[in-house]
Amino acid sequence: MTVASAHGNSPNEVFAAIENASARRLLIVALDEFAARGFHATTTRDVSTKSGLSPAAMYVHYPSKEAMLFQIALVGHSTARDRLRAALAEIDQTAGSAQRLEVILREFTFWHAEHTTVARVCEYELQHLNAEHRAEIDRIRREIEVGVRDEVQRGVDCGEFSVPDVRYATMALTSLAIDIVRWYTPGTGVTPAELADNLAVLGLKMVTA
Amino acid sequence: MTVASAHGNSPNEVFAAIENASARRLLIVALDEFAARGFHATTTRDVSTKSGLSPAAMYVHYPSKEAMLFQIALVGHSTARDRLRAALAEIDQTAGSAQRLEVILREFTFWHAEHTTVARVCEYELQHLNAEHRAEIDRIRREIEVGVRDEVQRGVDCGEFSVPDVRYATMALTSLAIDIVRWYTPGTGVTPAELADNLAVLGLKMVTA
DNA sequence: GTCTATAGATGGATAGAC
DNA sequence: GTCTATCCATCTATAGAC
Q: What is the CATH number of the domain that holds A34?
A: 1.10.357.10
Report whether pLDDT(A196) > 50: yes
Average pLDDT, chain A: 95
- Cα separation, A76 vs A93, whole angstroms: 28
Nearest alpha-carbon partner for B130 in B34, B65, B186: B65
- Cα separation, A130 vs A116, whole angstroms: 23
pLDDT band at B10 (very low <50, low <70, confident <90, very high): confident
- Residue B76's Cα: distance from chain center in Å? 6
What is the reported pLDDT for A10? 76
Nucleotides of C under 7 A from a protein CB: 1-6, 10-16
Calculate mean pLDDT across residues A65-83: 98
Report whether pLDDT(A85) > 80: yes
How many other C-beta atoms lie within 10 A of the C-beta of residue A78? 14
- Contact between residue B47 and residue B26 where contact means Cβ atoms under 8 Å apart: yes
pLDDT band at A75 (very low <50, low <70, confident <90, very high): very high
Give every CB contact of residue A80 below 8 A, 6+ residues apart in sequence.
A108, A111, A119, A122, A144
Q: Which domain holds residue B186?
A: 3-207
Residues 48-87 of B with CB within 7 A of strand C: 48, 52-57, 60-61
SS3 A208: strand
Residue B42 (CA) to nucleotide D5 (C1'), in angstroms, measures 30
What is the reported pLDDT for A4? 44
Q: What 3 state SS string does B125-165 have? A: CHHHCCHHHHHHHHHHHHHHHHHHHHHHHHHHHCCCECCCC
Percent of chain B with pLDDT over 70: 96
pLDDT tens-digit map of B138-181: 999 999 999 999 999 999 999 999 999 999 999 999 999 999 99
Give every CB contact of residue B29 below 8 A, 6+ residues apart in sequence.
B47, B50, B51
pLDDT tens-digit map of A138-167: 999 999 999 999 999 999 999 999 999 999
How many domains in chain B? Answer: 1
Q: What are phi and psi of B161, to 5 degrees?
A: -110, 160
Least confident of A5-14, A177-186, B155-164: A5-14
Q: Report the run of H or E that residue B195 belongs to, with start and end.
A: helix B192-207
- Contact between residue A202 and residue B205 where contact means Cβ atoms under 8 Å apart: no
Report whether pLDDT(A20) > 80: yes
Report whether pLDDT(B5) > 50: no
How many other C-beta atoms lie within 10 A of the C-beta of residue A40? 17
Nearest alpha-carbon partner for A163 in B186, B201, B169: B201
Report whether pLDDT(A1) > 60: no
pLDDT band at A189 (very low <50, low <70, confident <90, very high): very high
Query: CA B116, B149, B128 angle in degrees (round to 5)?
Result: 45
- Contact between residue B119 and residue B181 where contact means Cβ atoms under 8 Å apart: yes
pLDDT band at A12 (very low <50, low <70, confident <90, very high): confident
SS3 A161: strand
- Cα separation, B173 vs B194, whole angstroms: 17
pLDDT tens-digit map of B68-97: 999 999 999 999 999 999 999 999 999 999
Strand partners, B25: none
- Contact between residue B123 and residue B178 where contact means Cβ atoms under 8 Å apart: yes
How many other C-beta atoms lie within 10 A of the C-beta of residue B10? 16
Residues 45-64 of B with CB within 7 A of strand D: 45, 55-56, 59, 63-64
Interface test with B, best of A171, A182, A194, A197 (most B CBs within 10 A): A171
Q: What are phi and psi of A56, to 5 degrees?
A: -80, -20
- Contact between residue B73 and residue B121 where contact means Cβ atoms under 8 Å apart: yes
How many other C-beta atoms lie within 10 A of the C-beta of residue B158? 11
Query: CA A182, B135, B104 angle in degrees (round to 5)?
Result: 60
Residue A167 (CA) to nucleotide D16 (C1'), in angstroms, measures 59
Q: Is the CB of A24 under 7 A from strand D?
A: no
- Contact between residue B34 and residue B121 where contact means Cβ atoms under 8 Å apart: yes
Q: Which amino acid is at B191?
A: T
Size of interface A-B (CB pairs under 8 A): 86
DSSP code of residue B198: H
Q: How many residues does chain B have?
A: 209
How many other C-beta atoms lie within 10 A of the C-beta of residue A55? 13
SS3 B208: strand
